[in-house]
Amino acid sequence: MRRYASLYWLFLKNRFKILMEYRSNFLIGASSTIFMQMAGLLAIWVVMRQIPSLAGWTLAEIWLIYGLLTLAKSLNHMFADNLWTLGEQYVRTGAFDRFLVRPVNPLFHLLADRFCHDGVGNFLVGLVLVFSAASALDVTWTPGKIVYLVLVVISGGLIFIALNLITAVSAFWVMDSVPMIRVVFETHEFAKYPLTIYPIAITVLLTFFIPYGLASYYPASYLLGKETPLILAWIAPLVAVILLFIGYRFWLFGLRHYASTGS
């Protein structure tokens, strides 16, 4: 574990050295996601001006849900964005072969090969949303709540990573894995809002099958003291571990069936 931590730190330092060669590009990339998030937030603000309460949730409460999900997604964006490029940039070109001849875990190498600085903007937006919404809602940040916040954000990020990994493995069989990843990933848009506004089928989907709701709606309900099953507010770490295990087993299965381009 210590060896891989040291290796990741070396990869990260080298990545930042590369990014700092083009500092303007780094700043534009890191800030571009902030402006993208602002567009989505503006749309919510416009809607909530006409509908002050959405299924009993106010604008500040929805921003808390949105912020929690954005924080979780930003971890996936920063540390595991390379899963999106597995098919196009590595498998299809044969560049993946270099991961197989080096004395490190191929999945670790793939993830460490690229830190996506665009996710920094998402992380900052998520922080601002969570703490500004909590301030507006008079949420008292006790040590226990802070620990809970860190736990659910990390767990939510791991859920994003695990689901992307499960779908990205399709790159070992198809020419482009992005459509497969996107089918699952884009459902997180529903989890930016209270799950109670959706039909029961969508609520079940986002709770038990593609559990993005465990990173947003249920933690927000718990922090606000709203009625919610306690197990759903606390189960995110366990779900994250289970999904990571499943994702890694999928990865190993795909790796056994990987065939180089032969070029």
Name 58's Cβ contacts closer than 8 Å, sequence gap at least 6. 48, 52
Domain annotation covers residue 141: yes
Cα dihedral 205, 45, 41, 125, rounded to 10, equals -110
Residue 23 pLDDT level (bands cut at 50, 70, 90): low
Domain count, the chain: 1
Domain annotation covers residue 83: yes
pTM of the model: 0.92
Mean predicted confidence (pLDDT) in 34-62: 82
The string of pLDDT tens digits covering residues 50-74 is 777 788 899 999 999 999 999 999 9
Number of alpha carbons in the 13 Å side-chain half-sphere of residue 62: 26
Domain annotation covers residue 263: no
State the average pLDDT for the chain: 90
Query: In what helix (H) or strand (E) does residue 170 lie, and over which residues does it extend?
Result: none
Token reading at 84: 């999106």
Q: What is the 3-state secondary structure (H, E, C) of 136-168?
A: HCCCCCCHHHHHHHHHHHHHHHHHHHHHHHHHH
Per-position DSSP letters for 187-254, written without gaps between them: GGGGGGS-GGGS-HHHHHIIIIIS-GGGGTHHHHHHHHT----HHHHH-HHHHHHHHHHHHHHHHHHH
Domain annotation covers residue 104: yes
Domain annotation covers residue 261: no
Domain annotation covers residue 262: no
How far from each other are the two terminal CA atoms of the chain, in whole angstroms?
35
- CA pair distance 123, 255, nearest whole angstrom: 32
The string of pLDDT tens digits covering residues 168-208 is 999 999 878 899 999 999 999 999 999 999 999 999 999 99
For 72, the domain range is 2-256
Q: Is the pLDDT of residue 262 over 60?
A: no
Domain annotation covers residue 192: yes
